[in-house]
Amino acid sequence: MSATGLRSSIHIATLLVAVPFSTAAAQTNLTQDTPSTDRTGEHQSDQTASEFAIQPGMGIGLSAGFNGLAGGSSGGIQNTAGYAGYLRYGAPFGLFVLGGIHISKHEIEGASPPYRLTSFFLEPRFVALKLSSRWAPFVSGRLALVKEAVDSRGAEFSASGHLLGGGAGALFYLTPQAALEGSFSVGVAKLNDYVFRGDGAMYGCLAKLSSGTSLPESVILCDGSSFGPQYHAPARSPYADSGRSITWYEVRLGIHLSLASQ
């Protein structure tokens, strides 16, 4: 091979080697110059914002549900709707505490005046916050001061006591600040002997009742027995052995609104 041919072959080989390296370098520079479109940080931020189905911290809530009573001569008390309002505080590890008031008004079979059950309750809940960003199941306890009362022709039958119970349910995420609740609760209320205040003309009927007659039974038996001029009489307290234990239960829907900033 002549010297001229040799030089041509070396020049061609040099070009074949240099071109790939030049192309790779150009691609590297282009990659470095192009702005990054990685949105990992934004995704993590969005995920953090919706990490919980309900935000910890302070909040308020309202609920309405189906209420029933059983046992303790409650057979004549009809099921009805119950309503509650409460404040709550939730810790990031899932312990929530609710405190509020619950009211229900029931019809009594065989009597005209309604039966009222009012409770001031404290309800600790353990909420599985991080199970899902869309919903969170919970279990709960319930401690309440309760009062049952019936107003009849200007007079009042009433008894107070306490309730212990528990329940379970789930919270469903709507927004970072709001969640729906579906739950149930059941508890046993221990009520003291009832007190009667008001129209003295009803005492005659009450005095004829046997010891241990419960408040609802007394209302059914003596409602409408008042006759003649009505007059206010001092409370006769208590009606012996009229205290009782009842089972209370509720299936409810509610809404939670968080007051905590994200």
- The residue whose two tokens read 């022709």 is 153
Residue 162, domain extent: 47-258
Domain presence at residue 38: no
Q: Which of 90, 88, 110 lies closest to 98, judged by CA?
A: 88
Domain presence at residue 21: no
Domain presence at residue 31: no
pLDDT at 200: 65
Q: How confident is the model at residue 230 (pLDDT cuts 50, 70, 90)?
A: low
Exposed, middle or buried by CB within 10 Å (0-12, 13-18, 19+), for 125?
buried
CATH number, position 205: 2.40.160.20
Domain presence at residue 26: no
Beta bridge partners of 151: 156
Domain presence at residue 52: yes
Domain presence at residue 195: yes
Domain presence at residue 167: yes
Per-residue pLDDT tens digits for 150-180:
988 778 899 999 999 999 999 998 987 899 9
Exposed, middle or buried by CB within 10 Å (0-12, 13-18, 19+), for 151?
middle
The model's pTM is 0.76
The total number of structural domains in the chain stands at 1
Low-confidence winner among 100-104, 127-131, 156-160, 242-246 (lowest mean pLDDT): 127-131
